[in-house]
Structure 1
Amino acid sequence: MDQGNTAFVLICAALVLLMTPGLAFFYGGLVKAKSVISMMMMSFGAIGLVGVLWVVYGYAIAFSNNVGIDGVFGLDINALFLNNQLEVPKDAAFPPIAFVSFQATFAIITVALISGAIADRAKFGAWMIFAGIWVTIVYFPVASWVFNFTLGKDGSIVDGGWIVYGLSQTPLGVGVIDFAGGTAVHINAGAAALALALVLGKRVGFTKGAYAPHNPPFVLLGAGLLWFGWFGFNAGSEVAADGVAAVAFLNTIVAPAAALLAWIVVEKIKDGKSTSVGAASGAVAGLVAITPACAALTPGWAILLGIVAGAVCALAIDLKFKLGFDDSLDVVGVHLVGGLIGTLYLGIFANGTGLIFSGSFNQLAVQAISALAVLVYSFVLAFAIGFVIEKTIGFRIKNEDEVAGIDQAVHGEEGYVLTAER
Structure 2
Amino acid sequence: MDHNHPVYTDNDPQSELVTLNLGPTHPATHGVFQNVLQMDGERIVSAVSTIGYIHRAFEKIAEHRPFYQITPLTDRMNYCSSPINNMGWHMTVEKLLDIKMPKRVDYLRVIIMELSRISDHIICNTIIGQDTGATTTFLYLFQFREHIYEIYEEICGARLTTNIGRIGGLERDFNEIAFAKIDKFLKEFPVALKEFENLLNRNRIFIDRTADVAAVSQENALSYGWTGPLLRATGVDYDVRITDPYSSYQDFDFEVPVGTKGDIYDRYLVRNEEMWQSMRIIEQALEKIKGEPKGIFHAEVPDFYLPPKQEVYNNMEALIYHFKIVMGELDAPKAEIYHAVEGGNGEVGFYLINDGGRTPYRLHFRRPSFVNYQMFAKMSEGMLLSDAIINMSSMNVIAGELDA
Same fold (TM over 0.5): no
| TM-score (normalised: structure 2) | 0.32
Query: Hey, which of these two has a bigger chunk of helix by percent?
Result: 1
Q: Which has the larger radius of gyration?
A: 2
**Greater share of strand:** 2
